[in-house]
Chains A and B, each alone.
Chain A
């Protein structure tokens, strides 16, 4: 469903992504790991359509469509979802109203009728149960004053409401307590089927115990420098990134 080829991207003239290649098929879970500043969030942002980044080379197709030609809201309509590493606080905008607008705008994009108040409420209830989501949070202003963990819960709740085909989770596990990680991971797993996929960016093996990846990629200095199966995550946890850095340095010397 997602095919990234030789993707290069700059911000403020500085090259951050330096030739990413990645294929994601329906039903798959991919994990992306890598040291701080490697470009993981940049990749997520470029896929979601953040304007600050300039794509200088390469292509991305999503279900055969040129993803990079679409506005961020069109990408969401096509079924892409980004769980933000740092969700934005918007004082004065009720979380429920925001989610309702999002659900109905996406429905509109897909040629579906807007949900009426009753159907929307029913959907909310269902997903709240699935995600163990607190009603009180939803009545507050969007992310305003939410704790780090509450913000991440809210991201995953939005994902559950929008039922995307590709969910990009950018360090959704950071800031979550141990119980919350399990709940969030269970939620993600319950929403999984053979038609959708997950791209999980994480620093920790723990999340991958619950959301078991088919592939693990290491992103380093703007490139995917190593790919493997879930065992690679264990190896990284054990050895850190040095062994990869060393491998690369050796290659470069050769």
Chain B
């Protein structure tokens, strides 16, 4: 059975099984979109360099799964003792594995939350990422939304412990399609830190199609860290969509170290004046891995500030894509938007395609962008070697220096150290 038919069958089953669900209409609409658009191919400009359609010939299955903690315990991130932990297994929230230790964090299954006081809020924001991502892969998550969660951070709550999110796929027996889905709401003056990672257990192919939507209210502060270090059989489309609906602040770092084909969609919508967003990224690829960072910063209102810096180190035959869109709408005067993408190619077979895309409709703005693709600095290498440092260590030191400022942007110390260690492990050297 081809994947379109399989998806249709799964959709029908889900709609029948959850006949009374508040999500019926949402799913139906998305399913129509999916039917119309299908899995994006290279013909879609946004997917020109990232080809996921052929992957679907692998016959990915949607599967319910009951992993136990023992299956995932080695994958927990450092600092988990003092973190809220949310597990999604094969795309569905697992209450058994998860633990909430911060009382100000209210979590409910989306289905249930839609019966409660936040119904309006959810209906307003759920699926807003589709406004920016008009493609079949976004629609696919929407069409089959299941086991999704709504997380509400109350007004003025300073969530003391970070939220760790584990997107786990059990690839021990089958090729699995996981579609984790969450909607976060940060109330006025609330503060939250999130660290998210992706784990495929086993050696089968997996495809994770994650959507995380976040709504940030007046004076709220969001930090999010996305760590990707999965195996080469795991493919991922990670969509993180942030709406600043009041004057607020977000700060995020996306670290991509390993995987098969990885596409990150990061959308920052600055809807109110004086919002501030910081977007950092680091990709360090090897083998045949493919990394694609598609970011959008949409300045809708005046006086917003955004700063974006992505750095890449490409080894082996890895391929990279950076596409950074900045929109400045006509009312968004006095926008300050900065973007930079810097790449180092470590082998002759690696490549990067980088494209800034600025669309500015206001006249009084400060915007800048820049991108570089180069090789490791030979002068620097010789300088270090001339001081007695071996070529291998010198290279490792230069690369760590190159990405150090990105890693330093991770404000959860245990996660920062974790990332430093992962990079040091890859380089087989650590600057102490």
Contact = CB atoms under 8 A, between A and B. Distances in A.
B378 A51 contact: yes
A118 to B, nearest CB: 14
A101 B389 contact: yes
A98 B385 contact: no
A68 B399 CA distance: 28
A101 B396 CA distance: 12
A76 B377 CA distance: 20
Contact of A72 (B386, B402, B403, B432): B386
B385 A93 contact: no
A101 B401 contact: no
A82 interface: yes
Contacts of B383: 84, 87-88, 90
A71 B385 contact: yes
B370 interface: no
A82 B379 CA distance: 14
Contacts of B391: 71, 73
Contacts of B377: 88, 90
Task: Kindly list the 9 A-B residue pairs having the minimum CB-CB distance in the complex, ordered from nearest.
Answer: A92-B401, A76-B388, A106-B388, A102-B387, A72-B385, A93-B401, A88-B383, A92-B404, A105-B388
B106 interface: no
Contacts of A105: 387-390, 393
B431 A97 contact: yes
Given A73-B389, A84-B386, 8 more contacts: A73-B386, A76-B388, A88-B383, A91-B405, A94-B431, A98-B384, A102-B384, A105-B388
Contacts, number: 86
B424 interface: no
B382 A51 contact: yes
A11 to B, nearest CB: 13
B398 interface: yes
Nearest to A78: B388
A76 B387 contact: yes
A50 interface: yes
Contacts of A72: 382, 385-386
A201 interface: no
Interface string B397-412: 1101111110000000
B78 interface: no
24 contacts: A48-B382, A51-B378, A51-B382, A71-B390, A72-B386, A73-B387, A73-B388, A73-B391, A76-B388, A84-B383, A84-B386, A88-B382, A90-B377, A90-B383, A90-B401, A92-B401, A92-B404, A93-B398, A93-B404, A94-B431, A101-B393, A101-B397, A102-B387, A106-B387
A50 B382 contact: yes
A106 B400 CA distance: 21
For the residues of B in contact with A, the DSSP-based class is helix
A7 B400 CA distance: 38
B380 interface: yes
Nearest to A83: B386
A49 interface: yes
A218 to B, nearest CB: 26
Interface in B12-67: none
A88 B379 contact: yes
Contacts of A167: none
Q: Which of B384, B387, B405 has the most CB of A within 10 A?
A: B387
Contact of B397 (A71, A82, A91, A93): A93
A213 interface: no
B385 A73 contact: yes
A142 to B, nearest CB: 8
A141 B397 CA distance: 12
A51 B385 CA distance: 11
Given A93-B398, A101-B431, A73 B390 contact: yes
Q: Which of B379, B386, B389 has the most CB of A within 10 A?
A: B386
Interface string A188-223: 000000000000000000000000000000000000
Contacts of B403: 92
Nearest to B392: A73
A177 to B, nearest CB: 24
B379 to A, nearest CB: 5
